[in-house]
Amino acid sequence: MLEEEDKTDNERKIVFLGDAGVGKTSLISRFVNDSFPNAKPTIGAKPFSRSLQLNQSNKNIQLQIWDVTGQDKFRSLTNMYYRDADGAVLVFDVTRRETFESLKDFWIKELLDKGPENIQIAIIGNKCDITEKEVVTMKETQDFALHNKATYKFVSAKKNLNINDIFQKLG
């Protein structure tokens, strides 16, 4: 694991958190490999890496991206992955309200309690391409994000919608 003292000014550690099945692995695979995998549940955490040129400064940074399991049985271990993170992407499935409620009831509290004080947070609603099954609104997401001083976005890993925006905001 990349430790805080080993990071340079051009490196950022980003963790993806949220319940199992919300599409964390698919979002990361879309960004890193431009692919949409038939992903199996992540056990523990899986690291990814990619360089990114920031739009606002033309600065190149190296992203260390951690895909952290969302399975309940591993929740007590997840904090070791975001202790030294620069950014956290909290992902929910816009077609499953319980995944949004879980962000509010567990993930944000856990991150704010055990994560770094100055961590940047993005609230991401995945699967926005399935509009006919959407049960969490953009307004609810916006209110939750503003309350927690986070950015927010609705995205689709499958259709490759707004994926790069997540990383630009956290870089």
What's the pLDDT score for residue 37?
76
Model pLDDT for residues 24-35, shown as the tens digit of each residue: 999 999 999 988
Neighbours of 53 (CB within 10 A): 11
What's the pLDDT score for residue 81?
66
Model pLDDT for residues 134-155, shown as the tens digit of each residue: 999 999 999 999 999 999 999 9
Q: What is d(CA 144, CA 33) in angstroms, rounded to the nearest whole number?
A: 30
Q: What is d(CA 23, CA 36) in angstroms, rounded to the nearest whole number?
A: 10
The tokens 């995998």 sit on which residue? Answer: 37
For the chain, first and last CA: distance in Å? 19
The tokens 């049960």 sit on which residue? Answer: 135
Q: What is d(CA 13, CA 170) in angstroms, rounded to the nearest whole number?
A: 10
Residues of the chain with pLDDT under 70: 1-8, 41, 43-44, 69-81, 171
